[in-house]
Structure 1
């Protein structure tokens, strides 16, 4: 959707006496947004962006969400969600059982040689694709009155006199009282804002497939290989999500993804069996480059960051989706208080940074620390042998990367 052509068409139509009913509802919404001050502008339509937009619209605020893609679409993501947010997700109107979400109760981890360790998941979780979950949240946010500007990207955000100005890719601008940054792991806007983590190396690559394979549906598995690991869990429609993280150096060494998978991932017998037996549902995998796990600020340039924009947990902890949803709940509650005049902007920014750090900073630290045990084959083998000898330690680590149930 392009705002400039919409505004031009509308002005020309009015000048020549045209019937404005010929303009679509989406076009009229886009024009209204361009001409009016929004309470909240959300940049990015992943889980954090969608949930915060939905909550704030239901609270009675005017909300516009900008997303560069068009729903529904796939994202590189492990697609396992801790049950800490299940009740909350269902309270938003999402029928997880009706959507076919898999019930996940067990955890397995293997070393590059194939040594396997199993453990129950204390809290458990569910498996559902981002294609399905994001689209369901999009429909509910749209019904709640959120205006979506899809197929658009944001070039810049400025803040002056207590008002944000958001500049879109075609030069149009929007104004808002608050901006929530939910634009993901790494984006051009991070570079424009000169966020510190952008100056640090980001050597990781993420690759995701959906497959069909005869495996237990109540298990989330983490299979390690040289310089990476692969998470697997069941999702809806009798499918499995297979998502792995590795380094760009690994990919460069073998020239392309299939060659790297054969040379590296297949050294783990569990992964080789999956790649040999599975029916792959994508013509090509979903791929994302330059993933960074460096610390970030939850408030940056007065933007309230949510989801991966505020901090990215290492995928081996398998809890990024729950954190994004929980973070969106935090940011929407405090934003609502600010918009109702119950908090000043300095108080809003301080309280959000404090609340976000209290909920997630330790999880991220544990994730970064545990990740150092994986990637090098000898160290991974030693780590899994140690966890096997003292299984309570594995469950303790998993508890440290999960939060309390929210509703």
Structure 2
């Protein structure tokens, strides 16, 4: 198949699908390529900050149809189980990627987005035209390409991105459970070598997603042994896992998660979501960042589609400037916060400070979250 589209999106996750919906609403020709078939579970914390609600309304994405869970409280525990409790300044909601991505896929399709189930092998750029090659021998051309293909991809190596050949020590594990759990709360529980997030999603189901250093994990035979020997050292996690019933036949995992700095534009491709920059799950705001990044890029593309004000190079510079202005401080705060809270000594100090001055915690949370989006 050979075809031309104005904008081609690689990846049908949160960033790619919200972008497709935004652009299609503006009557722009969009093709989206996604390698997976929905509905499908993904490794994700499944929590979204309320900062993006007005943008979702603008896109006519009716979240109430998916019955998300409203969340307003944050609990953080040290490895020994001592708790820090705080209000979430903006609050948020829990929704599974299984439900949300499928909903967005169908909405984009209804709006006329050309949806292709395939995998992109390479992207070439010559004389202001992109040529995109896929595993099914499709060759597509476009005026612009958006890279929204997630945390890692073989495409990164083909594009010779700086981080693509570096080994990363991080492994993520995710599963759903049936358990008694405070619907208003998202919990982050530390353990030796990592931390685990717990929060409710739709259908009274708890999402448990943890990040662990692979050196810590590889000492054990399997996930179950690791959880019992390591996670259970935190009494909060021990209590949860012993009293919960797994929904999945087995947890899903992803390895080589890289938190190095990434460039928002590579080889003239506009990067979005985790492909542009991954915030540590401890900061719990990656989904909102993916959605807000889509808004930043799509507003520029829609404006230029009608006015032709900017050249491609000028658009790239504008996007990088706005992306950095919006997210660079959050990502830096996330890296610092993770280093602090993965240290047992700093955990103890932080717990004591938070007990004496509880108002300090919401202030720290604000460093990894944005202000409510105005549409």
TM-score (norm 1): 0.89
269, 272, 277: which is aligned to 2:243?
A: 277
Contact 1:180 1:305 in 2 (8 A): yes
1:332 maps to 2:301: no
Aligned to 1:259: 225
SS in 2 for 1:373: helix
Q: CA deviation at 1:52?
A: 0.5
- Match of residue 181, structure 1, among 128, 135, 147: 147
Partner of 2:91: 124
| 2:17 counterpart residue number | 50
**Structure 2 counterpart of 1:29:** none
CA distance in 2, matches of 1:294, 1:304: 18
Task: Show the counterpart of 2:171.
Answer: 205
1:137-148 maps to which residues of 2 (within 5 A)? 137-148=104-115
> Could you say which residue in structure 2 is the equivalent of 1:287?
253
What SS does the corresponding residue of 1:156 show, helix, strand or coil? strand
Q: Which residue of 1 aligns with 2:161?
A: 195
Equivalent pair of 1:337/1:343 in contact (CA under 8 Å): no
Q: 1:342 is matched with which residue?
A: 309
Q: Does 1:39 align with 2:22?
A: no
Once the two structures are TM-superposed, the CA of residue 99 in structure 1 deviates from its matched residue by: 1.6
Q: 2:189 aligns with which of 223, 227, 239?
A: 223
**Deviation of the 1:386 alpha carbon:** 2.7
> Normalized against structure 2, the TM-score is what?
0.97
1:370 maps to 337
Match of 1:82 in 2: 49
1:235 equivalent to 2:235? Answer no
Q: Which runs of 5+ in 1 are unaligned?
A: 1-33
Does structure 1 residue 162 correspond to structure 2 residue 128? yes
Q: Does the C-alpha gap of structure 1 residues 96 and 170 become closer, same or farther in structure 2, counting only changes over 3 Å?
A: closer
Q: CA RMSD in A?
A: 1.2
Residue aligning to 2:270 = 304
Once residues 309 and 240 of structure 2 are traced to their aligned partners in structure 1, the CA distance between those partners, rounded to angstroms, is 54
Residue 316 (structure 1) shift: 0.5
The structural deviation recorded for 1:380 is 2.3
Q: Computing the radius of gyration over CA atoms, which structure comes out larger, 1 or 2?
A: 1
Report deviation, 1:247. Answer: 1.2
What residue is the counterpart of 1:351 in the other structure?
318
Q: How far does residue 381 in structure 1 lie from its aligned partner after superposition?
A: 2.6
User: 1:389: how far off?
Assistant: 2.6
Partner of 1:316: 282
